Amino acid sequence: QPLSASVKGCKVLIADDVADTGKSLEVVKRHVEEKGASEVKIATVYYKPWSIIKPDFYVDETTCWVIFPHEVKETMTKLLTRWLSEGISVEEAKEKLLKSGIKLEVLEALLPKVLSKLS
């Protein structure tokens, strides 16, 4: 895929939220290097120790599942779809979501919307 601007001879910083497997970061880094960048660095918010690429800069290392605020509803929808199809009750699913770190007030605000979307 073409880049929106030439990077030939430039120093490039690739930013992402999480270095999890590292595969997408590896592809992007290689692509930018092939387009002639003189230097390529990677910055992420989180780095997982099993990633095939260790970012040059990161805020925190974690082995936990990371859910960002902008993806809570999407994550809840996916998990509830799976859990309800497996026969888990809404109450059990709610407990699991709370244990995963989703705050009660967020869960109470989003759960009715997510459940109505699923029915």
What is the rounded distance in angstroms from the CA atom of residue 106 to the CA atom of residue 43? 29
Task: Provide mean pLDDT across the span 69-77.
Answer: 90
Q: Across the chain, where does the E strand assignment appear?
A: 11-19, 39-47, 57-61
Would you state the torsion angle of the CA atoms of residues 63, 67, 69, 73, taken in this order, to the nearest 10 degrees?
A: -170
Provide, rounded to the nearest whole percent, the portion of the chain with pLDDT above 70.
Answer: 100
Q: Would you say residue 109 has pLDDT above 90?
A: yes
Is the model's pLDDT at 119 over the cut of 90?
no
Question: What is the Rg, in whole angstroms, of the alpha carbon atoms belonging to the chain?
Answer: 19
Whole-prediction pTM value? 0.73
Q: Which residues are CB-contacts of 89 (< 8 A; sequence separation ≥ 6)?
A: none
